[in-house]
Structure 1
Amino acid sequence: MRKSDTGVAVQRIRVLGRPTFGGLVIALMLWLPALTPTLIPRMPATQAGINAVALAMGYGIGTLIGLCLRLVLLRNGRSVARGVRRIGWIVLGLGWLSGVLLGAVLWLTWQNDQRRLMGMETVDGLDAVLMVSVSVLGGVMLVVIGRLIAKAVLAVTRLSRRLLPSVPAAPPIGLVVFFLGTVLVGWGGWLGITAFANATFGSANASTDEGTVQPGSASVSGSSESLVPWGTLGRWGRNFVASATTAELGTFHDADAELSEPVRVYVGLDSAGSASERAELAVRELDRAGGFDREVLVVWVPTGTGWVIPEAADALELLHRGDTAIVATQYSFLPSLLAVFMEPGREIESASALYSAVHSHWSDLPRDDRPKLLLFGKSLGTVGVEAPFVGADASESIANLTSGTQGALIVGAKRTNPIHSQLTRERDQGSSVWQPVIDGGLAVRFLSRDPDQPALSQDWPLPRIVYLQHPSDPVPLWGIDVLWRSPEWMDQPRGFDVSEAASWYPVVSGVHAAADLIFQLDTPPGFGHVYATEYVEGWASVCPPDGWTDADTARLEEFLYSEPPSEEQP
């Protein structure tokens, strides 16, 4: 190919000016599918952002394809006739006009169908118009940014050619210099984000919410008798120990019921220097508070910030009349979405150390005097729950769990969790990926609000492992493989809360997955990643008190959830 051909082909790259034909074609081909629903209903602003990204990505791909075709034509001394180009532009303009109008109508229908199913407020025609307008404008802005980057690459390449005219590799050297600069800028940006996150959430961790006061009960950490100072617990630790369900116990249970004061043990990041030291302190504190004398003892792995889900803790304590102990150690003050990238593995280290320390002390107790040892984790916390028990396959992992504990409640597990992956991969034939059945539900069961639960045996021996998992929860269902194949949750039959209009598209589905994971909590309880109203059923399934019935479960749920909680995860 002649050097002049390349120059002619790339001279159309302008920051402002007429768009490329190929770019607009592929942009439309990605913009329309981006409107389809997936697992989480979207607000107009969210959908506009998704479509803007899809438009820009499509434009970039289409422009690159068009450039390659243009180079081929130039090499062969050919070009597209002016009349053909004119007709093509007219057809493309009509295509975009009809696509935008049709897309707005379809998006409105799809979103409202999904929203009505989940009991959410619907969107209207004005929302659709604003969404379309903002998505196109946002896409154009991203395209302009892309053109600026392309111009910068060309400028560096030309500069390297002028500075090194006798070096054949001058253009590649220019590209290398450009991308090295981009990497350095990105690395600097990452350091800045990390510093900002640590400063912001570190400050939040050091704060105390209004109305949260140091407890006086010896049964919880942070009290005057505690081995763990109140000031070291962190924001969510202080909230947790200060809100034990002592008052609610007398309200829910009969006057003649035998009640106990719940034990809540929490060790913050500032309470000890390392994960192992925090675990050892937690065991000493648990022993001091009488946690090993309770009927039920739960090793609890919090979310990234150190948050212990109040709805889940309250459900456990009310279920067992307060004869419970919860022990947790903080491993981060960053939200889970940041902690998983900025502090990878911290949840595993912390949870493994805590479980090992608690289990060691628990094993030394006389067998008849031991509490029932349970596990709990949600989202990022589930990684830590599973970590000490991973075996070569699902059967070995289940055996490890049932021999090392008396049960576990695992909520919204990450798809990449080793045991969750084994259970999903090795599920019984015919069961779904969103509600897998393993060995007929002998030890492990997946529960959700799906009205069509799999028919499993009523004989469910202890110990029991329960996964709460919604068909519309993106955390256990989206994975990196969506970039090259359709996810299994799109197979038939689908979950009761999953739209039939959801489909897999190259590139677009990757954007959909990222958006669903970011907005995983934008649903009412019972959908998405929000499990706030299902902890009673979860605990009653894992470890029911003697004589507990389904009617008791319904009564406790009504008591706790007369006003549906939001479970706004910090």
Structure 2
Amino acid sequence: MLVISVVISYLIALYPGTLPRDAVTTTVLATGFAAAGATIGMLLSRRASREPDPQSVRVVFGVGVLVAAGGAGLAVWWQSLIRAAVGAPPVGLDWWAGATVAPAAAVTGIVLIPRVTAVVAASAVALTAGLLAPANADDGQPLPTTVVVSESQTLLRGQLSPLDFDGAAARLVKSWLRSGGLSAWAVVVAVPTGSGWVDQAAVAGFVDRFDGDVRILALPYADVESWKAFISGDAAATGSSVALIRELAEVLESRPAGQRPRLVLYGQSLGAVGADAARVWLEDHHPSMLAETVLTAPPAETVAHGSATPRAVVANRSDPVVRWSVSSLWRPPTRPHDTVLDGPRVPVVPWLPVVSFLQTSVDLLSALDGPAGVGHRYGAEQARPVSGFRG
């Protein structure tokens, strides 16, 4: 029972994701799961009613070693495929050691000297806990306490006022009017992430697309790390975006249709959830006012599967965010019908309940480590017209 439990746990830890794994993450994951398997196996063995036959033990141990070695070899091969696809360097000796030597040492220690191993394991967990935190996109700038307009008059960032989205939206729209927004070619409502961050690559893309004749409005709704904002719910993201688009629509409807700026909705990650909520509101109240919506990397199962107005859902093939949802514990994640896959083609293994959720969650740790097009990194191409995404 001990060998079977260890091998199953070890293979679960090595089941691949879609992003390169560094040596530290691989070591922690493989060692932690192998150790957990050894602990469970020992507890089950102690509760067994009779001692196993020595010959059977040797056979099971030999088969277990072969299966574990084969799993390690497949993991390295798969990791090499992923790294080659995204242009990352091949695995090194530290990766090999983390995937094989460290788990073997942990299992041996648990079996032979469990108390000492428990102390060492607790120390290791305390040291590495700070290293394994979810990736968070953030430009490092404090959120404004009033409306801030960029030097180019292109990006207007509203103030953070979570108790009064309507008031903050009204102040932002007034600043947009003062900046000559009504005479611009386009106005882009860019819903930020939970930290208040707006992807500067997207900003540059919209500026280039509209030849600089554009105003981009961003109204923050929180000032915490994006993953924390996501866990706490999307009410703030949707409430702020609807408040801003409602205020903006009141101004735009006062102008003839042919004399209004082109209205575009954009959001990335949790911001995509807010942007899609604004799209639904516009389709219900002003269906002809919205030109298009671009949603970049929304978390799985968080936006509508279809749209009555032009929309593109942009997702990198290797991005774990677009595959992560609690429901993926028991069923494969689904994509909106208008999803456009981008970035390098990476190999994808079949979905397994619980296991795939675990590996996707681990991929979140390094989702921002690669260049644009890899993981949760996106470039200026996300600002291209919806018609451009489709062909």
1:122 deviation in Å? Answer: 1.4
Residue 373 of structure 2 corresponds to: 526
Structure 2 residue matching 1:418: 3-state secondary structure: coil
2-structure distance, mates of 1:289, 1:107: 55
Unaligned stretches of 5+ in structure 2? 119-129, 131-136, 336-340
2-structure distance, mates of 1:372, 1:138: 61
In the alignment, structure 1 residue 339 sits paired with structure 2 residue 307: no
| Residue identity matched to 2:22 | M
2-structure distance, mates of 1:285, 1:543: 31
1:324 deviation in Å? Answer: 0.4
Structure 1 residue matching 2:319: 3-state secondary structure: coil
Residue 43 of structure 1 corresponds to: 22
Task: Compute the TM-score of the two structures, normalised by the length of structure 1.
Answer: 0.56
Which structure is higher in RCO with an 8 Å CA cutoff and minimum separation 6?
2
Residue 218 of structure 1 corresponds to: none
| Residue identity matched to 1:241 | S
Contact 2:18 2:319 in 1 (8 A): yes
Contact 1:104 1:129 in 2 (8 A): no
The one of 149, 169, 189 aligned to 1:279: 169
In the alignment, structure 1 residue 107 sits paired with structure 2 residue 107: no
Structure 1 residue matching 2:316: 3-state secondary structure: coil
1-structure distance, mates of 2:203, 2:66: 53
Residue 51 of structure 2 corresponds to: 80
| Residue identity matched to 1:108 | V
Structure 1 residue matching 2:102: 3-state secondary structure: helix
In the alignment, structure 1 residue 498 sits paired with structure 2 residue 346: yes
1:466 deviation in Å? Answer: 1.6
In the alignment, structure 1 residue 32 sits paired with structure 2 residue 11: yes
In the alignment, structure 1 residue 383 sits paired with structure 2 residue 265: no
The equivalences for 1:128-277 within 5 A come to: 128-136=96-104, 206=142, 232=145, 241-242=150-151, 244=152, 262-269=153-160, 274-277=164-167
Unaligned stretches of 5+ in structure 1? 1-21, 74-78, 149-192, 194-200, 208-230, 245-261, 392-396, 424-442, 445-462, 545-549, 551-570
| Residue identity matched to 1:357 | E
Residue 7 of structure 1 corresponds to: none
2-structure distance, mates of 1:353, 1:59: 54
Contact 1:56 1:140 in 2 (8 A): no
Structure 2 residue matching 1:376: 3-state secondary structure: strand
| Residue identity matched to 1:47 | T
2-structure distance, mates of 1:353, 1:45: 44
| Residue identity matched to 1:298 | V
Residue 299 of structure 1 corresponds to: 189
2-structure distance, mates of 1:370, 1:140: 71
The one of 82, 87, 90 aligned to 1:119: 87
1:284 deviation in Å? Answer: 1.0
Q: Deviations over 1:407-438 (max 9, x none)?
A: 1111112212131xx34xxxxxxxxxxxxxxx
* Percent identity for Structure 1 against Structure 2: 24
1-structure distance, mates of 2:103, 2:51: 31
TM-align CA RMSD: 3.8
1:464 deviation in Å? Answer: 2.6
Residue 361 of structure 2 corresponds to: 514
| Residue identity matched to 2:294 | L
Larger Rg: 1
Contact 1:23 1:58 in 2 (8 A): yes
Contact 2:39 2:110 in 1 (8 A): no
1:60 deviation in Å? Answer: 5.4
Q: Which of structure 1's runs of 4+ aligned residues deviate more than 6 A?
A: 138-145, 397-401
1-structure distance, mates of 2:288, 2:40: 53
In the alignment, structure 1 residue 467 sits paired with structure 2 residue 318: no
Contact 1:40 1:523 in 2 (8 A): no
1-structure distance, mates of 2:60, 2:102: 20
Structure 2 residue matching 1:269: 3-state secondary structure: coil
1:343 deviation in Å? Answer: 6.1
The equivalences for 1:361-440 within 5 A come to: 361-390=251-280, 403-419=288-304, 422-423=305-306
| Residue identity matched to 1:475 | V
Q: Size of the alignment, in residue pairs?
A: 364
The structure-2 alpha-carbon separation of the partners of 1:542 and 1:115, relative to structure 1 and needing over 3 Å to count, comes to: same
2-structure distance, mates of 1:371, 1:307: 24
The structure-2 alpha-carbon separation of the partners of 1:294 and 1:31, relative to structure 1 and needing over 3 Å to count, comes to: same
> Mean Cα displacement is larger for which, 315-324 or 98-107?
98-107
In the alignment, structure 1 residue 356 sits paired with structure 2 residue 246: yes
